Amino acid sequence: MIKKHNIEILLTIALAFCIYSYLTTGSDGIWFSRSGSIMVLLAVIAEFQVNNARMSTAETSSSLEIGGSGIVYKRELSPRYNAFTIIAHIEIISGTVIWGYGDCLFKSCM
């Protein structure tokens, strides 16, 4: 099973790299814009890890739901994994905006 710490590390590195590139980039904002792609990549990897944890939990789950179409495993994770999913989605969206418009955002803030 995927360790929670791996997901935390990926999401933290993505955010830290973006902040670092914002603080150290030159007047054109190119590196800040490029950091958005790294942020998206790491957040997508974290999201895949959460989904893998969700699927492995479903395979080993002992709780069942009996519905009209048969027996279905519940795919519930701890609230912490749900928070990871929300954070990953926020980083994917904000990283895409930074990737596409980071240089314009950087120039308007400076």
Number of domain units in the chain: 1
pLDDT confidence band for 2 (50 / 70 / 90): low
pLDDT at 59 over 60: no
Q: Rounded to the nearest 5 degrees, what angle is found at the Cα of 54, between the Cα atoms of 51 and 58? A: 140
Q: Which domain holds residue 102?
A: 4-109
pLDDT per residue over 12-37, tens digit each? 888 898 889 888 877 777 888 888 99
Give the pLDDT score at 1: 45
Give the pLDDT score at 72: 52
* 38-69 residues labelled b (16+ CB within 10 A) or e (exposed): bbbebbbebbebbeebbeebeeeeeeeeeeee
What is the pTM (predicted TM-score) of this model? 0.72
Give the pLDDT score at 104: 84
